[in-house]
Chain A
Amino acid sequence: MLKVVTAMKQGVLVIKLEGELDVCGADNFRMTVDQALDETGAKNILLNMQAVSFIDSSGLGVILGRYKRINQLGGKLLVIHLEPQVQRIFELAGLMKIFTFYKSEEQALEQL
């Protein structure tokens, strides 16, 4: 199960995830985030991964898919609060070089 909560902060789509980001969670993530991007017209995404206890390649794929979408519009994907086991998966996938990582929401929003 993955809970996806979205909110707008300073024109940035803030996404808070809770649970496991696998093939099941990926469907939920894709639907909720695409709808929020359509409705808000947001260019940048801030992804809070603090409560994500598990991620696999399906989860990474759906995050990368959203990144590709906003990147075409010059948008950025900022990631905060990676749990160590989740960070390892990001590292192995080479995503640490693609996304920007921050320690806190405030710090991330300041950089935009």
Chain B
Amino acid sequence: MDAQIKNQIKLSFLSVNENVGFARAAAAAFAAQVDLTLTEIDEIKVAVSEAVSNAVIHGYGLDKQKQNYIEVIMNLYQGKLEFIIIDYGKGIANIEEARQPSFSSDPERMGLGFVFMESFMDEIEVKSELQQGTTVRMAKHFVPITEH
């Protein structure tokens, strides 16, 4: 029962800063179909914003010449919202290190992206392969309202 997808949205968009806001607004809209508090919706927005920002900034980085795409898959399960963010960029050499607080390749950045994702979501899983890309799968649990 748990594995049954009740709703799904797939998005594919160019890796540009402007689309980060679109992705988190879409995530918030998708999350709004279940009974969550405003705080929980805000948490999803931050987590998705971080994952998509990472794909734009680090996944594809300076490679602005090509048309690079980011995919976001949003799944609704019984009691669980899942967000999968996929890029086909340069990948992460050391995932353990990248997930540490204050790890950042840029002094202007805080290295808190993964900290927020971990704090705000109930599940997070990162898969990455150099020169192949990175997939971040996150999920938030909720108590489903019993249907009468």
Contact = CB atoms under 8 A, between A and B. Distances in A.
B115 A92 contact: yes
A61 B109 contact: yes
A57 B106 CA distance: 12
Contacts of A11: none
A22 B110 contact: no
Interface stretch (B13-21, B65-73, B77-85, B89-97): B13-21
A22 B113 contact: no
Contact of A64 (B38, B42, B110): B110
Contacts of A89: 46, 116
A93 B21 contact: no
A58 interface: yes
Contacts of B24: 22, 54
A54 B20 contact: no
Contacts of B106: 61
A64 B46 CA distance: 18
A56 B46 contact: yes
Given A60-B110, A85-B42, A92 B56 contact: no
A23 interface: yes
B120 to A, nearest CB: 9
Interface in A29-77: 30, 54, 56-58, 60-62, 64-65
Interface of B: 17-18, 20-21, 24, 38-39, 42, 45-46, 49-50, 53, 56-57, 104, 106-113, 115-116, 119
Q: What 5 A-B pairs have minimum CB-CB distances, sorted nearest first?
A: A57-B112, A61-B109, A24-B17, A56-B49, A61-B110
Given A65-B108, A92-B115, 7 more contacts: A22-B21, A24-B18, A30-B108, A56-B49, A58-B109, A89-B116, A93-B110
